[in-house]
Amino acid sequence: MIKMILDVMGQDAPASEFIRGAVDAVREYGVDMTLVGDEDLINDVFIKEDLSMEKIDVMNAESFITMEDGAMSVVKEKSDSSMNRGLKLLASGGGDAFLSAGNSGALLAGATFIVRRIRGLRAAFGATLPFDFPTLLVDSGANTVVTPADLVSFAKMGRIYCSSMYHRPDPTVGLLNNGTEETKGTPLQKEAYELLKSADVNFIGNVEGFDLTSGKADVVVCDGFTGNIALKTAEAVGRYASKSLEEALGRSVLSKAAALPLRKKLRETARRFDPSEYGGAPLLGISKPVVKIHGSADARAVKNAIRSAIYYVSTGVIYEIARNSSTLVYKDGAPVGKEKK
């Protein structure tokens, strides 16, 4: 039986959304669940909303990490936080995956110091952009500064994740750049391009911001600074578009009865560019499944994130990544160094 550990504290949304999402996931997917957070608060939600506690444990935590806390607080001043407790439970084998929508920096630090990385790898977030084809963006926000070899390692981890999770036999990998020509970009992209050409991935060259919706590459690699900007811009524009079109529909002269089926269709369409639809972003490179849930997730998004985390656990993506992690980086056929020191 797969057991999920869910941090219900420290995110933007109320804990009740997270608890409802967890209850729904337990019912629909039959997993076991440990909720970590303020026990009184959690029990109150169960009573108030008359939810079933079947297959759900609660682990009390005295504090939680806020969005303002420094990344290292999770292992230092706030070692009694829900994030720390949940990660320790995962590390000690008390669950199969840990999910949190809290402070990303703290989640990265906690996962790195408590759960540990796979030897030789740097951890990176892999967010899925849910357009016509799922596109995995790695790193979508963990590391603001990376080396060219890191980008190769992100490509390899992304390839394995994408292949297992989205059933692509040989996922294509693109390097996010400011143009498609080989000579584009900063020194980082130029050097990474050379390394990716001879790396063991299906590298299709540079891709642009345009290609995040086109499905041109299954996996798009970039530093976490650029990935963060691209992801948040995509979300903002998607949300803006949905909102504008809802408004246009609201102002239209159609009768309510005529507008209803159309509104439903538009909402379905809008959902296609809602990042919460594809669940959470895994911290690739960590030795056990740690998943970041979207900051403004509701119960449905939490349930979706749990569903994809179940799949992440059961497909054994992490074992596959670990098996591939000691590969050397080649340049012109010769090994030029370890993927990551």
- Write out the H or E segment, with its range, that includes residue 221: strand 219-221
Q: Is 133 in the site for a copy of itself (CB under 8 A)?
A: no
Site residues for a copy of itself, 113-132, by CB under 8 A, read 131
Q: Is 198 in the site for a copy of itself (CB under 8 A)?
A: no
Least distance CB 137 / a copy of itself (angstroms): 10
Nearest to 156 by CA among 341, 320, 337: 320
Site residues for a copy of itself, 61-120, by CB under 8 A, read 68
Q: Is 225 in the site for a copy of itself (CB under 8 A)?
A: yes
Q: Kindly determine how many residues on this chain lie close enough to bind a copy of itself according to the rule CB under 8 A.
A: 58
Q: Is 224 in the site for a copy of itself (CB under 8 A)?
A: yes
DSSP string, 119-188: TT---EEEEEEESSSEEEEESSSS-SS--HHHHHHHHHHHHHHHHHHH--SS-EEEEE-SSSSTT-SSHH
CA distance 205 to 133: 19
The nearer residue to a copy of itself, 17 or 235, going by C-beta atoms, is 235
The nearer residue to a copy of itself, 253 or 334, going by C-beta atoms, is 253
Q: 120: which 2 tokens?
A: 């030789």
In the list 228, 287, 304, 308, the residue contacting a copy of itself (rule: CB under 8 A) is 228
CA distance 64 to 341: 33
Least distance CB 157 / a copy of itself (angstroms): 20
The nearer residue to a copy of itself, 225 or 311, going by C-beta atoms, is 225
Least distance CB 267 / a copy of itself (angstroms): 9
For residues 256 to 275, the per-residue mask of contacts with a copy of itself, x marking binding by CB under 8 A and - elsewhere, is --x--xx--xx-xxx-xx--
Length of the chain counted residue by residue = 341
Within the chain, residue ranges assigned H as helices are 15-29, 39-48, 82-91, 104-110, 148-166, 187-197, 224-251, 256-272, 299-314, 317-323
Q: Is 248 in the site for a copy of itself (CB under 8 A)?
A: yes
Q: Are 293 and 307 in contact (CB under 8 A)?
A: no
Q: Are 311 and 165 in contact (CB under 8 A)?
A: yes
CA distance 211 to 144: 22
Residues 6+ apart with CB under 8 A from 78: 63, 64, 65, 69, 84
Region of 55-63, 82-90, 92-100, 246-254 interacting with a copy of itself (CB under 8 A): 246-254
In the list 238, 280, 282, 285, the residue contacting a copy of itself (rule: CB under 8 A) is 238
In the list 12, 40, 47, 241, the residue contacting a copy of itself (rule: CB under 8 A) is 241
Amino acid, res. 42: I
Site residues for a copy of itself, 157-196, by CB under 8 A, read 176, 178-179, 181, 184-187
- The phi and psi torsions of 7 (rounded to 5 degrees) equal -80, 120
Positions that interact with a copy of itself (CB under 8 A): 68, 131, 141, 144-145, 176, 178-179, 181, 184-187, 208-214, 222, 224-226, 228-242, 244-245, 247-249, 251-254, 258, 261-262, 265-266, 268-270, 272-273
